[in-house]
Chains A and B, each alone.
Chain A
Amino acid sequence: MTGSPRPPAPRAPGRALGRVRGGFVLRRVVRFAVSLAVLLVASFAMIHLIPGDPVRASLGPAAPVELVAARREALGLDEPILSQLLSYMRGVFRGDFGTSFLSGEPVGEIIASRLPNTLGLALLATVVALLVAVPLGMWAAIRTENGRNRGTEAAFTSATGTAVAVPEFLYSIALVAVFAIGLGWFPPAGQAGPVSYVLPILSLAISPTAMIARISRAETLRELGTDYVRLARAKRLPAPRLYFRHVLPNTLTATLTVGGLLLSALIAGSVLVEYVFAWPGLGLRIVESITQKDYPVAQGVILVYGAIVLVVNLLVDLLLGVLDPTSELKET
């Protein structure tokens, strides 16, 4: 018998692993660029995948034929598909995302004026979630290590389990009902000063906080069981040194990986929260554009959301590469 069947994944031999960090960064950037290109094509294709004539669908059956033809002309929909794609890409890189069917505003301007509001909300909520969740998870892990304090463990698990399961738009409705309409402490809608940020940030942050706290606890528990933590305990290091120097850094890899994914999810979740709070961000606009079939706006905003997700993932990857000296070895 010569030759062989399908190979299993070969285990990478030790010496081939010692790659330079530059290669790691480069691979990640290339991956980002490829994903971005795919995203561009996908957002371009979106309009073309709509069954029938998108312009007709948008303007309605009553619109005059000339208007539809003029719009098609303006959008370049009658040109060959490839040249449409090229001019779309060229436009995007110049910041030209087309114009709204309905208001005639340039989509680029809409995005530029609204993106900061969305990003501000999402970033603040992420920061709040991380600041609360990581210490909370660590504390819970230390308190419930090896099954001690079962009461705390049950309370933590059921509280986070419940908090994770309730979607952000229900939190925002409940918060509006209680704190804005009921108690009148906060404005129920709109963006007006720092106070108006409180309820939207809370709505967005509760679920991710619960999720990250769970991950943080699980990671801390795993760390507490390792030999090097046993050894650090054998060395009788003071508790702060043990927990903050030996345990915390090793829990951050997984926590931040999940945190990055959550930030992406949180940006999407902000659509709903913005809707509830009539927040002048991209989310409100995309909902309007989809219901009103304002396709250029929908296309542009979805492209921006997608690009934000890609950038977040790239940043998280690079951050992990810096924080965890072995993470670049773990990649496939």
Chain B
Amino acid sequence: MIIKNLTVRFGAFTAVDDVTLEIPDGAIVGLVGESGSGKSTLARAVSGLVPYSGAVEGVDRRGVQMVFQDPLTSLDPRMTVGASVAEGLRLPRAARQAEVERLLSLVSLPVSLAGRYSRELSGGQRQRVAIARALGARPTLLVADEITSALDVSVQGAVLNLIRALREEFGLTMLFISHNLAVVRYVSDVVAVMHRGRLVETGPAERVVAAPAHDYTRSLLEAVPRLGRGRPAPEVTS
């Protein structure tokens, strides 16, 4: 599928400015940018939640599903996990139960959670429920908007592994949005960099990281904190 000349305006402010981006079937395209870059607005536009000009071709509206940043607010507090997951299913009542169980096991959640409410779950579990709900609609494109930034590091790894497994096993096509370049690089085949509403660079993940073409990408890369850069304390005479 392809996003063509997509523009989103809020009054006089242009949040997304003429973005054209191809998302190959079965690939994960990572979209990275800082706050205000327009990456989340682009996600919402592709998902049909924000009006835009331009076109999203190669996918119909129900074929796009989105997973949100905050798993607590993306699940209705008054619905059980099972009811949330079943929401997008177009199945007879009898088959629904089995499908919910299949979806929950797909995201490595125990089936027993189906009767619980989202507030009883941990952050990582909630995010898995949101992913299962989106998968239930058998999407052609899954939009993941900062899905790990509300999670602790120890949980983030598991969610990222799940995302990669879904692509490898089911050929899921995905637009993966994050402010964290290291995370985007790890899960994506293609990396796209957004800055002030525009797409400044797109390319294979390893190429963009190893040989950035745009100055902004370069400054973003330099700013990524690295474990190994710290130094021992200097000798201080006080």
Contact = CB atoms under 8 A, between A and B. Distances in A.
Interface stretch (B10-18, B100-108, B208-216): B10-18
Which of B11, B12, B51, B60 has its CB near the most chain A CB atoms (within 10 A)? B51
B10 A12 contact: yes
Interface residues of A, number: 14
B52 A4 contact: yes
Given A7-B51, A8-B49, A1 B61 contact: yes
Given A1-B59, A1-B61, A2-B55, A16 B13 contact: yes
A182 interface: no
A15 interface: yes
A3 B10 CA distance: 15
A147 interface: no
Taking each of A3, A10, A12, which has the highest tally of chain B beta carbons within 10 Å of its own beta carbon?
A: A10
Interface in B25-60: 36, 45, 48-52, 54-56, 59-60
Nearest to A14: B36
A8 B49 CA distance: 7
Contact of B12 (A1, A7, A16): A16
Contact of A8 (B11, B50, B60): B50
A48 B52 CA distance: 49
Interface residues of B, number: 18
Nearest to B55: A2
Interface string B101-121: 000000000000000000000
Contacts of B52: 4
Nearest to B64: A1
A16 B51 contact: no
A5 B48 CA distance: 7
A8 B52 CA distance: 12
A13 interface: yes
Interface of B: 10-13, 15, 36, 45, 48-52, 54-56, 59-61
Interface of A: 1-5, 7-8, 10-16
18 contacts: A1-B55, A1-B56, A2-B54, A2-B55, A2-B56, A4-B45, A4-B48, A5-B48, A5-B51, A7-B50, A8-B49, A8-B50, A10-B50, A11-B10, A13-B11, A14-B36, A15-B13, A16-B11
